[in-house]
Amino acid sequence: MNILLIEPIGAHGLLLRLNRPEKRNALATDLLGGVADALDAAAADPAIRAVVITGADRFFAAGADINELAARDTGGALADPRPAIWTRIRGFSKPLIAAVEGWSLGAGNELVMCCDLVVAGKGAKFGQPETNLGIIPGAGGTAVLPRLVGRSRAMRMVLLGDPLSAAEALQAGLIAQVVEDGQALAVATDLATRIAARAPLAMQQGKAMVRATFEMHQSAHLLMERQAFSALFGTADKREGTTAFFEKRDPQWSGT
């Protein structure tokens, strides 16, 4: 059985579906690596402009694989290949959208935090329950989560293991949209289609500049933003966008 299903979304989108139902899509190293491999391939393919990642109806991803965790000691954890895999996922340059139904826990929630837009069914739950196992989150659950939801919510999620409901996650800024249960994938696919119809280089630079907010001092970020803004003025898409505006027609983006 393929643990990661890959299919096109129209001409310029890609859908990744986590497919370990017997393990509630637990993100074992092989599945996590498969996601990174698929994103690396999508990043290198000029035809792909947006990617959606989803799970199953009752669970997006229920954390890491407990069997892998149980087998490791400190040395094993320090030598774990997973941090390098997570770096590849976070480094994906094109818009990445998550469609979440049901539970998103531990590594599953950390994968959600790698995405740029998150659409969730109203019954979805988002949690970092690692302290229930005597450990802590290790892929963004203490480093990224507070930047998104604030200190107090992050403390509650990490120290008590309490999940956020979809409504709470929306209010906290962890996700972008709540929809009726069962509709997350359809809405996420529509968002990907809309993004894929827009100027590809502008989408990539827009993503990069917003994400830099969490990594740079504001003055350096403003300079970097202006440089990215200026660089786009030399692209064929900028010329096409302004020409199409004056000619009152839809632009035809080339991604160059």
Q: What confidence score (pLDDT) does residue 236 get? A: 94
pTM: 0.92
Confidence of residue 71 (pLDDT cuts 50, 70, 90): low
Average pLDDT in the chain: 93
Partner residues linked to 14 by β-bridges: 8, 51
Instruction: Report strand pairing: 164-165 vs 125-127.
Output: antiparallel
How far, in Å, CA of 193 to CA of 10, rounded? 7
When mean pLDDT is compared across 70-74, 84-88, 208-212, the lowest value belongs to: 70-74
In the chain, what are the domain boundaries? 4-196, 200-247
Spatial CA neighbour of 101 closest among 12, 4, 196, 17: 17
Inter-residue contact 88 to 33 (CB < 8 Å): no
Burial bucket for residue 147 (CB in 10 Å: 0-12, 13-18, 19+): middle
Residues near 239 by beta carbon (within 8 Å), at least 6 away in sequence: none
**What's the whole-number mean pLDDT along residues 52-62?**
95
Nearest to 32 by CA among 93, 92, 107, 96: 107
Give tens-digit pLDDT for 229-245. 899 999 999 999 999 99
Other C-beta atoms lying within 10 Å of the C-beta of residue 16: 21
Specify the higher pLDDT residue, 68 or 101: 101
- pLDDT, one tens digit per residue, over 85-110 is 999 999 999 999 999 999 999 999 99
- What pLDDT score was predicted for residue 81? 83
Q: Is the pLDDT of residue 69 over 80?
A: no
CATH level 2 (architecture), domain 200-247: Orthogonal Bundle (1.10)
Q: What burial class does residue 58 get, using C-beta atoms within 10 Å of its C-beta: 0-12 exposed, 13-18 middle, 19+ buried?
A: middle
Per CATH, 4-196 and 200-247 having the same topology is answered: no
The label of the residue with tokens 């900028």 reads 238
pLDDT of residue 76: 65
Q: CATH: 3.30.70.360, 3.90.226.10, 3.60.21.10, 1.20.1250.20. Which one for 4-196? A: 3.90.226.10
Tens-digit pLDDT profile for residues 112-152: 999 999 999 999 999 999 999 898 998 999 999 999 999 99
Q: Which secondary structure element, helix H or strand E, spans residue 13, and what is its range?
A: strand 13-18
